[in-house]
Structure 1
Amino acid sequence: MDGVLWRGSQALPGMSRFFETARSLGIRFILATNNASKSGAEYLAKLRGFGVSVTLDEVLTSPQATAAYLARHAPEARVFVIGEPGLAAELRAKGLQVVNEQPEQATHVVVGWDRALTYDKLAEACLLIRRGAAFIGTNPDVTYPSERGIVPGNGATLAALRVSTGVEPLIIGKPQPEMMRQAMARMGGSPENTAVVGDRLDTDILGGQNAGLTTILVLTGVTSLDEARDSAIRPDYIFQDIGAVADALQQANT
């Protein structure tokens, strides 16, 4: 959503038109985001602030996808969390234990974007991973498109832990296909009839390709047109913004 629908507190061009077009054409969608700082309910509230109404089932965050993955594969996990309150809330909602107050009990370390990150949190996570705790990253985005400009993202935190532990994290969000598969399952979609729209080549577009989807890049976030032209990761389509995507959908269905 960040860099596609909005940047910070500013709606990007054509956001409302995209939702109006999708609803009028009966196009199902999931708003899938790697941003691990908010819960699904918080995203609904933000969208309402822009005058857009969606349901909770139409939002899939990397914390939700991570919680669903752990609930399926490690339901007894005791989790030490680096991240903001939305991440811990999603883990608890799936019945998982968050043990930040007793970190020595942790069997898993889950790392999401944390704007209150401290050295103590990093050190605790490093020690736990070195002792054998499973290392999971909600998403690998090394940067984040803020209102102030491009700033460090969760991938920067993962890099610090990867270097200090020698352990590669299991990534749940894009570009790994797990999150895309969860989104398609919610919609009843398949790779043949599903497209991904995103602003990043290394997560959104590569993630769509890894899941076998049609890929659409918009130029309102991280990736510029020059970067897209020079990259080995090639989207199927490139549009200036989400409004141009809405216009193309409308034209294709008239």
Structure 2
Amino acid sequence: MRPIPLAAIRHLIVDMDGVLWRGSQALPGMSRFFETARSLGIRFILATNNASKSGAEYLAKLRGFGVSVTLDEVLTSPQATAAYLARHAPEARVFVIGEPGLAAELRAKGLQVVNEQPEQATHVVVGWDRALTYDKLAEACLLIRRGAAFIGTNPDVTYPSERGIVPGNGATLAALRVSTGVEPLIIGKPQPEMMRQAMARMGGSPENTAVVGDRLDTDILGGQNAGLTTILVLTGVTSLDEARDSAIRPDYIFQDIGAVADALQQANT
């Protein structure tokens, strides 16, 4: 499918880490992007693979940067995972590796989290966990080996922190994959489930929706897997040289989210 022109974009699915901020530092043009999208009537969903925070926590972080969005404009891989399980396995009893936001999203969809009684688990859901321990890995390994379904919120092997590139959830999934011989079902990018959920929220379609991200292997590939136009920014994981050398080719490349805003403004004038 050919990329749609910038002037045809009416809906955006925008990554956050490495696009809007790195750790606690806002990236250039972040506020300008939101002002431009609102003024042009472009709807957006902020869709992140980062499983460490709930949607409400992301709203609070955005407010700290002086940006106001609604909860409906945020979609995290925990939210997408919870929605998927609520639709396909509403009786699931879940052992969780992850931070409090992941368990909170699962419970919000009526799913039972059984970390205190892991022997009851029918599913193991794994998200990024900065308090990861060997005991958590061992418990998850045993459960998966006994037949519990293995689900990963997202496959990102690294995370762009303010200190630099550090291990992401994909590193945890890799440990469980090699110790169980089981491949996880991935809900987040690059699988198309999150993109489809985001488009459904906005009423978007491939003919008027684009994805903005900083990673070729999740954001850009995820957009391509959903048949969407893709926009890479160079403020996160992927460098310009990597983008030029990769088999995964974004439709547009901009230096940062501010440059995306400027291009959208120009295309609509």
Q: Shorter-chain-normalised TM-score: which range?
A: over 0.9
Identify the match of residue 194 of structure 2 among 165, 179, 195: 179
1:249: which partner in 2? Answer: 264
How far, CA to CA, are the matches of 1:89 and 1:16 in structure 2?
A: 29
Deviations 1:113-149 (A, max 9, x none): 0000000000000000000000000000000000100
Deviations 1:25-77 (A, max 9, x none): 00000000000000000000000000000000000000000000000000000
How far, CA to CA, are the matches of 2:207 and 2:141 in structure 1?
A: 41
| Residue 237 (structure 1) aligned with residue 255 (structure 2) | no
- Identical amino acids, percent of aligned pairs: 100
How far, CA to CA, are the matches of 1:249 and 1:193 in structure 2?
A: 13
How far, CA to CA, are the matches of 2:186 and 2:39 in structure 1?
A: 35
CA shift for structure 1 position 248:
0.3
TM-score, with structure 1 as normaliser:
1.00
Deviations 1:179-207 (A, max 9, x none): 00000000000111100000000000000
- Could you tell me which runs of 5 or more consecutive residues in structure 1 were left unpaired when the two chains were aligned: none
How far, CA to CA, are the matches of 1:37 and 1:9 in structure 2?
A: 14
CA shift for structure 1 position 12:
0.1
How far, CA to CA, are the matches of 2:233 and 2:105 in structure 1?
A: 29
Structure 2 residue matching 1:215: 3-state secondary structure: strand
Question: Runs of 4+ in structure 1 displaced over 6 angstroms?
Answer: none
2:8: which partner in 1? Answer: none
How far, CA to CA, are the matches of 1:188 and 1:205 in structure 2?
A: 21
Deviations 1:74-123 (A, max 9, x none): 00000000000000000000000000000000000000000000000000
How far, CA to CA, are the matches of 1:182 and 1:192 in structure 2?
A: 16
CA shift for structure 1 position 161:
0.2
- Could you tell me which runs of 5 or more consecutive residues in structure 2 were left unpaired when the two chains were aligned: 1-15
How far, CA to CA, are the matches of 1:210 and 1:192 in structure 2?
A: 14
How far, CA to CA, are the matches of 1:55 and 1:147 in structure 2?
A: 26
How far, CA to CA, are the matches of 1:139 and 1:253 in structure 2?
A: 34
How far, CA to CA, are the matches of 1:124 and 1:47 in structure 2?
A: 35
Structure 1 residue matching 2:95: 3-state secondary structure: strand
Structure 1 residue matching 2:43: 3-state secondary structure: coil
Structure 2 residue matching 1:91: 3-state secondary structure: helix
> Any residues of structure 2 matched to 1:11-50 within 5 Å, and which?
11-50=26-65
Structure 2 residue matching 1:67: 3-state secondary structure: helix
Deviations 1:209-245 (A, max 9, x none): 0000000000000000000011000000000000000
How far, CA to CA, are the matches of 1:26 and 1:98 in structure 2?
A: 40
Structure 2 residue matching 1:120: 3-state secondary structure: helix
Identify the match of residue 24 of structure 2 among 3, 6, 9: 9
1:57: which partner in 2? Answer: 72
Identify the match of residue 130 of structure 2 among 115, 132, 139: 115
Question: How many corresponding residue pairs?
Answer: 254
How far, CA to CA, are the matches of 1:67 and 1:242 in structure 2?
A: 29
Deviations 1:152-182 (A, max 9, x none): 0000000000000000000000000000000
Structure 2 residue matching 1:140: 3-state secondary structure: coil
How far, CA to CA, are the matches of 2:230 and 2:47 in structure 1?
A: 14
TM-score, with structure 2 as normaliser:
0.94
How far, CA to CA, are the matches of 1:76 and 1:68 in structure 2?
A: 13
